[in-house]
Structure 1
């Protein structure tokens, strides 16, 4: 694709964003992300005029850092810290247990090997509540619930990537040696690798991200220039993400820590309001554009023939993913309520379960598998993941408002 064609494609996507934005102002029940997805799906059905490709690297290295850093600089750091224990429990223990549920039933329901079932769980279980959070903001949902949903989503992306990377590495080595995965990595070794990986991802990400955020803040404090502040924040967000990714730690956690520290320190200093406003506006626009490209692109690249071919399995996968989340969220929160105060009410638990939308990271990871393992297995995984992503975005995202209204959990 030539540079001119790329620019035309970008302008077309932005034009679609304007159209969807207008539609969402006319139809309040239609969320922005759902509208983007529907437009993308329609383009996919009638045939896209664009030579458009969506890659795992583009999502993970270009779009995701912008989304994470924007969330980090806008999240309530105090509320995040106050709810850190339940967030960590849901994002780490909850995700691992959910993957375990998928791994147990995957071989029977989908014909996967145990290793591929774990891989599928790691791909499909991370949450992406962007459309849910938009509903929360519009309705004025209680802040604690918003923090729990957003915090879990931000952290479980990093955990899922660790599990995914460990399984994918084992599968690749097994294929190269023409042996079973179990001969490359036993279950106990796999648990050790994943446990170590999660610890390194979390600790390394927090340490490096915090140090980088501090250095960026010190530099900005000496300059207090709004345009330089934007450049510094861009270098911070992408530098931490890519650097930690190369080092084997979590770029997601690192960027989150860097953004939160950077924002919390600048908010407590004499840095000018103009600088604050410029940085916040820049990242809000960046995240808006990233979401626009992402959700239209997901719709455009949705493999309709595969969705039709694997329709029965997709329906099963939708049920399994929901059950895997429910059987983890309710018991885990029940245990938390024994030891943590204030407790998480049942109404919150219903929303936490239903807010399990599985889209951006899931799509990126399954596209990564396609790069490594072209063939029938990849087609099956792609069909299941795109099917779950489309369903949860359209159904869970659009029914969140009635659920919140019924539960009465607005401020």
Structure 2
């Protein structure tokens, strides 16, 4: 009972802090996500020093809850990532995306592969570390985040096509980076042989397989929507289950790209599924997903920031 209470208290406290920081960041004209990460680092330091800070009552319970928070990579991957990817994909104009799907995929796949090999090759040449390890670093740093760029585009009145290219590339870029990371990580730990041809085949299988899973799942759910006859709460809830079903089935059970499955499912829903959902329900649906995406994005940056002091402390202690 007490463990559940602490979990609820910790989550509620983090969410409250996150949403209150949005107007502060806007007033300071500071990027919200970076501001949250900095706040998270400060909060992480407070949690690290919790034993030296005399607190009682609710404040003490909150510190205890935050100190006991164990945010694993699985939580980020299976809880937060599907929500963020689905919300981002759902907000994209599918028709415009399809008009430029060629250059978008070229930038997201070929561009990321080039970036991965350039960065990895340079690090390998400078450091002398194993090439596969250096390529893993290249895959990590080659992923892009279009939030700041798209915001600048809107302020400057840049062409809509340019924003679509950047947003679309970012969605597929994330999927490509994750697939590359998983393949290279498997090579490093010995779960897969270091083979360029085999790696290319595995990449294509995981990437295209994820698209197929997302498409099939979305078409099944669109058929369900067509028979619901404007049941708003049911339809909105089903979109949430669509996002997580697509991700888990592709990633965990079929060992394909969960990110590509979610991206495809959201794009199909935004294209075909929209015709089966009333305009008022679609408006409520997009607002609901915008809220879910905001919660997930805010919590991720806070939690990542909170983890920094602990990671640095562990790294420093391991050096001595």
Mark yes or no: TM-score above 0.5: yes
* 1-structure distance, mates of 2:152, 2:227: 39
In the alignment, does 2:31 pair up with 1:31? yes
| CA deviation after TM superposition for structure 1 residue 45, in Å | 3.6
| CA deviation after TM superposition for structure 1 residue 304, in Å | 7.5
In the alignment, does 2:187 pair up with 1:200? no
In the alignment, does 2:275 pair up with 1:268? yes
Q: Specify which of 70, 79, 82 is matched with residue 99 of structure 2.
A: 82
Q: Is the 8 A contact 2:183 2:203 kept in 1?
A: no
Please state whether the residue corresponding to 1:30 is helix, strand or coil: coil
Please state whether the residue corresponding to 2:189 is helix, strand or coil: helix
| CA deviation after TM superposition for structure 1 residue 110, in Å | 4.0
In the alignment, does 2:286 pair up with 1:280? yes
Q: Is the 8 A contact 1:53 1:301 kept in 2?
A: no
In the alignment, does 2:193 pair up with 1:185? yes
* 2-structure distance, mates of 1:17, 1:77: 31
- Match of residue 51 from structure 2: none
* 1-structure distance, mates of 2:136, 2:208: 24
**Normalized against structure 1, the TM-score is what?**
0.67
| CA deviation after TM superposition for structure 1 residue 139, in Å | 5.4
Give 1:355-366 correspondences, 5 Å limit.
none
- Match of residue 59 from structure 1: 76
| CA deviation after TM superposition for structure 1 residue 230, in Å | 1.6
Q: Is the 8 A contact 1:210 1:258 kept in 2?
A: yes
- Match of residue 318 from structure 1: none
Cα deviation, 1:52-91, whole Å, max 9, x if unaligned, reads 3332111111111101111121100011111111111111
- Which stretch has the larger CA shift, 48-57 or 239-248? 48-57
| CA deviation after TM superposition for structure 1 residue 197, in Å | 2.3
Q: Is the 8 A contact 1:34 1:131 kept in 2?
A: no
| CA deviation after TM superposition for structure 1 residue 138, in Å | 5.5
- Match of residue 22 from structure 1: 23
In the alignment, does 2:109 pair up with 1:101? no
Cα deviation, 1:108-157, whole Å, max 9, x if unaligned, reads 43452212111211222211233444454565543222212211111122
* 2-structure distance, mates of 1:20, 1:193: 47
- Match of residue 161 from structure 1: 178
* Number of corresponding residues: 298
Q: Is the 8 A contact 1:33 1:131 kept in 2?
A: no
Q: Is the 8 A contact 1:21 1:32 kept in 2?
A: yes
Gaps of 5+ in 2: 49-62
Please state whether the residue corresponding to 1:302 is helix, strand or coil: helix
| CA deviation after TM superposition for structure 1 residue 290, in Å | 0.3
- Match of residue 141 from structure 2: 124
